[in-house]
Every structure is written in structure tokens, then in C-alpha cells.
Structure 1
Amino acid sequence: MLEKTTRINALYDFYQQLLTDKQRNYMEMYYVEDFSLGEISETSNVSRQAIYDNIRRTEHMLEEYEEKLGLYGKFLSRQALLQELLTVAKEEKSQVWQEKIEKLIEIE
């Protein structure tokens, strides 16, 4: 469950601008603020089932965006490559390269 939550949060970070205001609001409350479905339901004046359905549809949309655009996958690949480069720079004791790679990691 934690892996799913982490993945959905990451996908949300990348694709939230493609969602409606209502979808963003529900996802924020459920995944970021850790509200229960009941709490969101009370706050939004909508049934718990409607909230559940909306969140599930939005999760599915986020996965579809990732399948088509692959922004999160590319981000993970860049991070892995930067870590490999940093390891090589440390092994070769190349301070200049190490600093530049660390700056790239910060930017990401």
C-alpha cells in the first residue's frame, strides 16, 4: 500500500495540472492531507462512494498519463544515472565533477 501511495503522489506531482480542480482537491485531501473518504465526503458535501469513485478514476487517469508521457519514469532514470555518475566521480576523487553532479541532483 505504501508503494502505491508513493507512486500516486509522484504521478500527482507530475500531472496535477492536467486534472480538474475537483480532482486535484480530492487527491490533495486524500493523499497529501491524509483525510479519510468520510472526512472528504463531509467537507465536500458529496457521498463517500462518489469521492471513492472520483479518486479511483483520477488514479487511473494519472497512470494513463504516465503510460503516454512517461515523465515519472524518465525522472527515475535520470536520478539513477546521476547517482551512478556521482559514485564514479567519488571513486575517481574528482571534486569538480562531484560538485557538478550534486548540483544536478539538487535541480532534479
Structure 2
Amino acid sequence: MDKILEQALLYDFYGELLTAHQKEIYEQFVLDDLSLGEIAADAGISRQGVHDIVKRCAKSLEEYERKLHLVEKFLAVKEQVSRIDGVLKEWEEKKEDPEEIIQRIRKLSATIIEEL
């Protein structure tokens, strides 16, 4: 997964666990794509200070994911839902036996429930 996308997902799930100051700096760096210098000038701190905050935030978010696995579960469920959609598209195109489709969807939904 792209590092920026990964960091954005981690922030979406765990960003509220950061302080307001950390959130502001991290959002500007990761989501707004501002440079360390731009953020430092805006926040009134050094580039090194911004760098340290961003690194600490990234490490904290990764640690939360390591313990809670919310992003991992979200991506797994998203994949299973995509598979359900694929099964339904196949059925629309081929008009397979409805019982077979129902069984396949039930199997995929059971997998989703296990992930949760």
C-alpha cells in the first residue's frame, strides 16, 4: 500500500488519539502535503521540531494499529464486500442459479463477520 495512503488511513482511524497540536501538524504534512519549512513557519517552531512531531505521530499511529488492527480489519471487510459485489455482477451477467449465488454470498458474509 502507498505510504501516504497508509498514513492517511491510520490517521482516519486513530487521529483523534493525538493531541490537537499533533493533529494540526500531522494533517498539514500528510493530508495537506505542506513542507516542513511551511509548517514550521506557520506553527512558529523549527523544521526539526515539525519533523520530530510528524515522526512521533506516525510511530504512535502505527503502534495503535499494531495493537488494535482496525485498519487491517477495515481493509479485509472492504475486500470481502468487493467480492460480494463481484458475485452479484457475475449473476447479473450469467443469470446463474440463485441458490449458488446465495451460498457464495453467505460464505463471504460469514467471512466478514469473522473479521469483525
- Indicate the TM-score class for this superposition, using the shorter chain for normalisation: 0.7 to 0.9
Q: Give the alignment's TM-score, normalised by structure 2.
A: 0.76
2: CA distance, partners of 1:82 / 1:15: 23
Say if 2:8 and 2:30, in contact at 8 Å, map to a contact too. Answer: yes
Name the structure 2 match of 1:77. Answer: 76
1: CA distance, partners of 2:19 / 2:70: 19
Unpaired stretches in structure 2, ≥5 consecutive residues: 96-100, 106-116
What is the root-mean-square deviation in Å for CA atoms of aligned residues? 1.8
Unpaired stretches in structure 1, ≥5 consecutive residues: 102-108
Q: Give the alignment's TM-score, normalised by structure 1.
A: 0.82
User: Which of structure 1's runs of 4+ aligned residues deviate more than 4 A?
Assistant: none
- Say whether residues 1:66 and 2:72 are aligned partners: no
Count matched residues: 95
Name the structure 1 match of 2:30. Answer: 31
Q: Structure 1, residues 59-78: CA drift from partner, whole Å, max 9, x if none?
A: 00000000111111111001
Name the structure 1 match of 2:47. Answer: 48
For 1:68, what is the secondary structure of its paired residue? helix
The letter of the residue matching 2:84 is: L
